[in-house]
Amino acid sequence: MSFRQIARSKVGAWASSGVLMIALFPGRPGAQVPKPFAPSVNPVTDAVRNVLTKHAKSLIASAELMPAENYGYQPTSKQMTFGALVAHVIQTNVAICSALTETTPPMGPEGLKKISGTDSKDTLVTAIKQSFDYCSAGFAKLEDAALREEASMFGRKTGMSRADALVTIAVDWADHYSTAASYLRLNGILPPTAQPKQ
């Protein structure tokens, strides 16, 4: 990726978060005022904790918004169903978050294999909530200094650092939510982040 492509992607990310608009148009009516900057002793893990809070809310709401009868929906035969997407989020949450924390996971590898996109909506919504609760509990104790350590998944060494696992899960949440949002829109449902603010 060239510097220009990286710069464009960064500008796009900042623009979508409102940061760029505040910088370019500070006096514009209705502009959000940023929170005062406070240095952190754990800037990386604090940033991902914020990402976790945002994506947990959006992905859980997506699972709740999709009607049960549409959990078998897939845009094309080559894509996973909505139910399979929710199951995949649950599996990756539990597996990757287990590599980042000493907290006991809600289910082991055998339990994760049993999670299926054909499970009922109620079962999958309950499980996705549990998976994000697990990640949140583990991340609450995570510090930047621990990111250099090797990640172990269900007691097995992975050959990657906890930093690798942290970046992987953060990117996964963004990817999973963009997929969930597109599935919702294709079913005539506004995704959580597009819903009018109340």
Over residues 90-135, the pLDDT tens digits come to 999 999 999 998 888 999 999 999 999 999 999 999 999 999 999 9
Give residue 69's pLDDT. Answer: 98
List Cβ neighbours of 194 (8 Å cut-off, separation of 6 or more): 181
pLDDT classification of 23: cutoffs 50, 70, 90: low
Q: Which residues contact 137 (CB under 8 A, 6 or more apart)?
A: 101, 103
Domain 43-194 fold:
Four Helix Bundle (Hemerythrin (Met), subunit A) (1.20.120)
pLDDT score at 30: 54
Neighbours of 114 (CB within 10 A): 9
Residue 154 identity:
F
Each residue of 49-95: pLDDT tens digit?
999 999 999 999 999 999 999 999 999 999 999 999 999 999 999 99
Residue 144 burial (10 A CB sphere; 0-12, 13-18, 19+): middle
Does pTM top 0.85 for this prediction? no
Taking 70 as the threshold, does the pLDDT of residue 17 lie above it?
A: no
Report in angstroms the alpha-carbon separations of 59 from 12, 50, 189. 22, 14, 14
Q: Widest CA span of the chain, in angstroms?
A: 56
For the chain, state the CA radius of gyration: 18
How many other CB atoms sit within 10 Å of the CB of residue 38? 6
Token pair for residue 81? 């169903």
Q: Tokens 């000493």 correspond to what residue?
A: 102
Share of the chain above pLDDT 70, in %: 84
Across 13-99, where does the E strand assignment appear?
Answer: none
Note the pLDDT of residue 15: 47
150-153 vs 156-161, strand pairing mode: antiparallel
**160-194 per-position pLDDT tens digit:** 999 999 999 999 999 999 999 999 999 999 999 99
- CATH 1.20.120.450 region(s) of the chain? 43-194
Question: What pLDDT, on a 0 to 100 scale, did the predictor assign at position 18?
Answer: 56
